[in-house]
């Protein structure tokens, strides 16, 4: 009589021979396929729940107008290109701000292509073309690739556009667009699988109005398909708008997950985005827009609900300087007066690796593999029908990735304060 392990081994071998090793594997090995691009902010890692943003997924950003949706998408593209990857922006609204894009992406613009779509079908065709080109020209899968669709509803479908041209108006706008987006996203799930590509999309939010009634409800343009297929959907809102005439203008933005397949739902990240410019000796105006992730990380470690509900203070007891605003002191880092950037630089120093690891554990941030820790290799099969799969590179320490105690698992499942109170800041 066969033992359970032998039955599973036989079934797995048969399934892999028919469907491929990349599609059939022991569930304990799923972590190998969770590789991603490093998120250089504890606040973002805390909100999403993982250390590295997994590739091969959809990530959406929704919210009302001017809630910094495009800004965070540009930053996500920059983060991929900063790791040596490529970027594509499919722009559908024809109102992209050159200063915003240049100010955020900056020196990595040479690694970014921009396509301008006039119809919904054209935007989808552009994305399909980009996928097909990558798959035929980068079979080694060694370059991460970020694609941004800004936005899902910036253009009309050909059906809607032709109807408006013919009749001069269209009262049921968006119905055909929603139907066109749903099958496209379903197809993209298959297209993205096992490829180091990521699709970011911007989804506008509008007030939901019933006929003859006033309501405070909201609906996201594009139907439910984007939310259904996205791995993480984040709502954006401005808490503190830019003050005109300020010497160093900035806005405070809140991001909150309204769907999260990677961690606990409903966690927030609050960060300042600064808008700065300078004029060179040649008279050229240089724009520099940046998210202050260092301050966001320090604000996270200072937050009261973390101090009361977790063991963060047992790892690092960060305090704001009593007389100098914008400075911090921390005995564990042996500093009495440091800026947020300096605090994070010390925390990420090699000698503090264990402290940072313990801190992520208290913040319920799961360690997953980085993109450069795995490789796509042939694994069995024949010359005519080879099998490929992702393999962890030699020398990668898997202890912090694979092992998780029952206590840690229970900690991850504990609802956050953000989820418990159910409150959401409006922009």
User: Residue holding tokens 């997994």?
Assistant: 54
Selection from 285, 230, 293, 290 nearest residue 54 by Cα: 230
pLDDT (tens digit per residue) in 341-355 = 999 999 999 999 999
pLDDT computed for residue 283 by the predictor: 81
Q: Is residue 36 part of a domain?
A: no
Q: Is residue 184 part of a domain?
A: yes
Q: Is residue 327 part of a domain?
A: no
We report the CATH number of the domain holding residue 136 as 3.40.50.300
CB atoms under 10 Å from CB of 15, counted, come to 14
At 136, which helix (H) or strand (E)? helix 120-137
CB 89 within 8 A of CB 148: yes
In this prediction, the residues of the chain whose per-residue pLDDT falls under 50 are: 161, 164-165, 167-172, 209-213, 215, 412-413, 419, 422-427
Q: Is residue 101 part of a domain?
A: yes
Q: Is residue 265 part of a domain?
A: no
CB 308 within 8 A of CB 323: no
d(CA 364, CA 46): 7
Q: Which residues contact 56 (CB under 8 A, 6 or more apart)?
A: 33, 192, 193, 194, 195, 196, 197, 198
Q: Is residue 114 part of a domain?
A: yes
pLDDT computed for residue 170 by the predictor: 45
Bridge-based pairing of strands 327-330 and 319-320 is: antiparallel
Domain that holds residue 213: 49-231
Q: Is residue 8 part of a domain?
A: no
pLDDT computed for residue 248 by the predictor: 81
Q: Is residue 182 part of a domain?
A: yes
CB 381 within 8 A of CB 424: no
pLDDT computed for residue 154 by the predictor: 66
Q: What is the pTM of this model?
A: 0.85
pLDDT (tens digit per residue) in 393-403 = 999 988 778 65
In order, the DSSP letters of 313-333 are HHH---EE-SSSTTEEEEGGG
Domain count for the chain: 1
């Amino acid at each position: 009589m066969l033992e359970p392990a032998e039955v599973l081994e036989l079934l797995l071998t048969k399934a892999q021979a028919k469907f491929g090793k990349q599609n059939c594997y022991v569930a304990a090995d799923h972590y190998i396929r969770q590789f991603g691009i490093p998120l250089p902010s504890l606040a973002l890692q805390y909100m999403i729940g993982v250390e590295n943003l997994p590739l091969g997924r959809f990530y959406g950003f929704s919210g009302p107008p001017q809630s910094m949706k495009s800004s965070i998408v540009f930053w996500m593209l920059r983060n991929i290109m900063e790791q040596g990857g490529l970027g594509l922006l499919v722009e559908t609204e024809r109102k992209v701000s050159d200063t915003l894009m240049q100010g955020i992406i900056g020196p990595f613009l040479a690694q970014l292509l921009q396509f301008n779509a006039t119809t919904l079908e054209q935007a989808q065709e552009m994305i399909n073309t980009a996928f097909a080109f990558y798959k035929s020209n980068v079979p080694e899968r060694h370059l991460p690739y970020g694609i941004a669709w800004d936005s899902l509803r910036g253009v009309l479908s050909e059906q809607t556009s032709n109807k408006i041209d013919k009749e001069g108006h269209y009262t049921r706008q968006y119905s055909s667009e929603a139907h066109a987006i749903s099958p496209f996203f379903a197809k993209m799930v298959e297209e993205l699988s096992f490829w180091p590509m990521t699709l970011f999309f911007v989804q506008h939010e509008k007030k939901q109005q019933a006929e003859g009634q006033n309501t405070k409800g909201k609906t996201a343009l594009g139907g439910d398909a984007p939310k259904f297929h996205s791995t993480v959907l984040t709502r954006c809102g401005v808490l503190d708008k830019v003050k005109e005439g300020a010497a160093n203008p900035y806005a405070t933005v809140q991001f909150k997950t309204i769907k999260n397949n990677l961690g606990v739902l409903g966690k927030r990240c609050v960060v300042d985005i600064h808008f700065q410019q300078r004029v060179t000796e040649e008279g050229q105006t240089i724009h520099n827009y940046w998210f202050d992730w260092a301050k966001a990380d320090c604000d996270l470690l200072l937050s009261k609900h973390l101090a009361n509900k977790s063991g963060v203070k047992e790892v690092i007891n960060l305090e704001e300087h009593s007389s100098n605003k914008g400075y911090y002191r921390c005995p564990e880092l042996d500093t009495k007066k440091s800026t947020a950037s300096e605090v994070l630089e010390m925390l990420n120093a090699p000698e503090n690796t264990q402290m940072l690891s313990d801190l992520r554990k208290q913040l319920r941030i799961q360690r997953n593999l980085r993109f450069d820790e795995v490789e796509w290799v042939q694994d069995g099969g024949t010359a005519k029908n080879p099998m490929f799969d992702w393999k962890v590179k030699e020398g990668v320490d898997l202890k912090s990735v694979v092992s998780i105690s029952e206590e840690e698992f229970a900690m991850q499942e504990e609802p956050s304060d953000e989820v418990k109170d159910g409150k959401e800041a409006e922009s």
